[in-house]
């Protein structure tokens, strides 16, 4: 996170809850706060790792130094694939239980070291289904001066569950050398072992509970805008393998004159793009999101499907430069030109926005895109689309303002396991 991390201040809620106050100065965000451990809770195959990866991406995109520590990976590393068979997870076999605890503790030790030295937020990805294990984790967090939140992923819908188990068998490193039929049976036994000792997170602990991916969300924590945001994000994640398409509006008069900002209408060529875009998506079940600007709404004109105008997708606010050409900016405001060349991501237009500000605005649209269960087409603007794309496809923050984002192109973003891939399509 760019900015200055000030010394920890006393937490205002039982010493457990993250307090982050973002004070915006002209150049930077100052973070005052404690480090946070997000502790996943749930039976095996509840897609905790998937949620962890999505959350890590969302946080990193906002400039947090966030990392996942996965206890399963530590186990495989320490004990090999043999430790993946269900017998190893039998809670009544004391020697195995001890080995599992030792691995969980080692993983937490590494996590604490990383968080102290290098990080802002960590996600501890394991089942953590007993109060005893969670009590240990809570004590360690308190000892280290970290805040913590339990994220319990509860999934009992047989339809969702069937798919989850299958995809776990197909993708998990634990079963890569196993016959799928045998693996499925063994995996079910493993789940039953965990179920036999499962205790849900109680009211005395800070938690976010997610039921059947988006069906219901329960929250139990003190005032914290960061935790509110994490809850909102996780509560909107689902498992649908949809495409997300991103395009800019059709050409405008401002584009021809190289002017930035404004609210100009499409040219004849721009209208032609709007028509071609609609033809391109014929037969696709879509929802279309536009910004509040005329040029994106006009580009969506021919779509006969659900459409929503999201003002958070409006183009970067270029403040005193709105309506100017780049040449005019260079001659009238050379300091702005220099500022952008020196640090385009953090440079804020006077009375306008920076790319860093834009990420904070566009994240509202990200949650809306994630929540949908069908393909989404976003028709927006160059800077906004750069920010959006960089959420799905990890990009160093400072490179975001330079992502190639021409007119007349559609970028298709598709799920690749828990992450995303992308391709650029000509319309």
Is 408 an annotated catalytic residue?
Answer: no
Give the 3-state secondary structure percentages of the chain, helix then strand then coil, rounded to 5.
45, 20, 35
Residue from the set 260, 329, 359, 369 that interacts with ligand F6P by CB under 6 A: 260
Give 321's contacts (C-beta < 8 A, 6+ positions apart): 260, 261, 329, 333, 336, 349, 352
Is 315 an annotated catalytic residue?
Answer: yes
Give 325's contacts (C-beta < 8 A, 6+ positions apart): 257, 258, 259, 260
Closer Cβ to ligand F6P, 39 or 380, answer by number: 380
Is 166 an annotated catalytic residue?
Answer: no
Using CB under 6 A as the binding rule, whether residue 277 contacts ligand F6P is answered as no
Using CB under 6 A as the binding rule, whether residue 133 contacts ligand F6P is answered as no
Copy the structure tokens of residue 409: 């192109």
Q: Match 């195959």 to its residue by tokens.
A: 45
Q: How far is the CB of 350 from ligand F6P (least distance, A)?
A: 14
Q: Quick one: which of 69, 25, 17 has its CA closest to 230?
A: 17
Per annotation, catalytic residue among 16, 120, 125, 152: 125
Using CB under 6 A as the binding rule, whether residue 59 contacts ligand F6P is answered as no
Q: How far is the CB of 262 from ligand F6P (least distance, A)?
A: 7
| Cα-Cα-Cα-Cα dihedral sign, residues 269, 270, 271, 275 | positive
Region of 24-32, 156-164, 310-318, 357-365 interacting with ligand F6P (CB under 6 A): 310-318
Q: How far is the CB of 368 from ligand F6P (least distance, A)?
A: 21
Region of 102-110, 121-129, 229-237, 311-319 interacting with ligand F6P (CB under 6 A): 311-319
Cα(411)–Cα(392) distance, integer angstroms: 11
Cα(26)–Cα(110) distance, integer angstroms: 37
Contact 324, 340 (CB under 8 A): no
Cα(206)–Cα(191) distance, integer angstroms: 25
- Side by side, which strands form the sheet with 286-290? 306-309, 286-290, 375-380, 244-248, 409-416, 419-426
Residue from the set 48, 190, 348, 382 that interacts with ligand F6P by CB under 6 A: 382
Per annotation, catalytic residue among 148, 193, 249, 381: 249
Is 305 an annotated catalytic residue?
Answer: no
- Phi, psi values for residue 112, rounded to 5°: -65, -40
Closer Cβ to ligand F6P, 154 or 310, answer by number: 310
Using CB under 6 A as the binding rule, whether residue 313 contacts ligand F6P is answered as no
β 147-154/286-290 pair status:
unpaired
Closer Cβ to ligand F6P, 332 or 416, answer by number: 332
Q: How far is the CB of 316 from ligand F6P (least distance, A)?
A: 5
Q: How far is the CB of 383 from ligand F6P (least distance, A)?
A: 4
Using CB under 6 A as the binding rule, whether residue 261 contacts ligand F6P is answered as yes
Closer Cβ to ligand F6P, 315 or 346, answer by number: 315
Per annotation, catalytic residue among 251, 315, 317, 370: 315
Residues contacting ligand F6P: total by CB under 6 A: 9
Q: Quick one: which of 329, 391, 335 has its CA closest to 360?
A: 391
Using CB under 6 A as the binding rule, whether residue 251 contacts ligand F6P is answered as no
- The binding track of 160-199 with respect to ligand F6P, each residue x by CB under 6 A or -, is ----------------------------------------
Using CB under 6 A as the binding rule, whether residue 315 contacts ligand F6P is answered as yes
Q: How far is the CB of 264 from ligand F6P (least distance, A)?
A: 10
Using CB under 6 A as the binding rule, whether residue 152 contacts ligand F6P is answered as no
Cα distances (Å, whole numbers) of residue 73 to 88, 180, 182, 283, 418? 15, 21, 22, 43, 16
Exposure b/e, 156-183, CB count within 10 A at least 16 = b: eeeebbeebbeebbeebebbeebeeeeb
Closer Cβ to ligand F6P, 34 or 381, answer by number: 381
Q: How far is the CB of 59 from ligand F6P (least distance, A)?
A: 24
Q: Quick one: which of 10, 36, 21 has its CA closest to 116?
A: 36
Cα(2)–Cα(14) distance, integer angstroms: 28
Residues that bind ligand F6P (CB under 6 A): 260-261, 315-316, 318, 381-383, 401
Active site residues: 125, 155, 249, 315
């Amino acid at each position: 996170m760019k900015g200055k991390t000030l010394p920890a201040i006393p937490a205002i809620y039982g010493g457990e809850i993250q307090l982050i106050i973002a004070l915006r100065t002209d150049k930077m965000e100052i973070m005052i706060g404690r480090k946070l451990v997000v502790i996943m809770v749930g039976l095996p195959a509840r897609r905790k790792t998937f949620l962890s990866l999505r959350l890590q991406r969302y946080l990193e995109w906002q400039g947090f130094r966030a990392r996942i520590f996965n206890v399963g990976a530590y186990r495989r590393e320490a004990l090999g694939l043999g430790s993946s068979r269900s017998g190893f997870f039998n809670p009544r076999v004391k020697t195995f239980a001890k080995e599992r605890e030792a691995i969980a503790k080692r993983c937490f030790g590494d996590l604490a070291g990383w968080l102290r030295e290098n990080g802002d937020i960590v996600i501890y990805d394991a089942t953590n289904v007993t109060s005893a294990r969670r009590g240990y984790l809570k004590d360690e967090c308190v000892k280290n001066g970290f805040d913590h939140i339990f994220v319990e992923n509860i999934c009992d819908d047989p339809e969702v569950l069937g798919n989850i188990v299958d995809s776990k068998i197909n993708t998990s490193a634990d079963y890569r050398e196993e016959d799928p039929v045998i693996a499925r049976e063994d995996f079910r036994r493993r789940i039953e072992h965990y179920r036999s000792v499962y205790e849900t997170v109680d009211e005395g602990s800070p938690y976010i509970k997610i039921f059947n991916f988006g069906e219901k969300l329960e929250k139990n924590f003190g005032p914290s805008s960061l935790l509110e945001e994490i809850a909102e994000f996780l509560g909107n994640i689902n498992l649908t393998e949809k495409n997300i398409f991103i395009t800019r509006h059709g050409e405008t008069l401002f584009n021809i004159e190289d002017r930035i900002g404004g609210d100009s209408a499409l040219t004849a060529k721009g209208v032609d793009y709007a028509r071609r875009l609609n033809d391109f998506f014929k037969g696709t079940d879509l929802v279309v999101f536009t910004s509040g600007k005329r040029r994106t709404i006009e580009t969506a004109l021919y779509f006969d499907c659900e459409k929503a105008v999201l003002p958070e997708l409006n183009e970067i606010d270029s403040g005193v430069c709105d309506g100017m050409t780049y040449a005019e900016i260079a001659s009238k405001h050379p300091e702005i030109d220099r500022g952008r060349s020196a640090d385009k991501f953090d440079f804020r237009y006077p009375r306008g926005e920076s790319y860093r500000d834009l990420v904070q605005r566009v994240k509202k649209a990200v949650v809306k895109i994630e929540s949908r269960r069908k393909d989404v087409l976003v028709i927006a603007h160059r800077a906004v689309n750069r920010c959006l794309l960089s959420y799905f496809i990890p990009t160093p923050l400072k490179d975001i303002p330079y992502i190639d984002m021409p007119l007349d192109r559609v970028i298709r973003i598709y799920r690749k396991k828990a992450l995303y891939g992308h391709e650029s399509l000509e319309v």
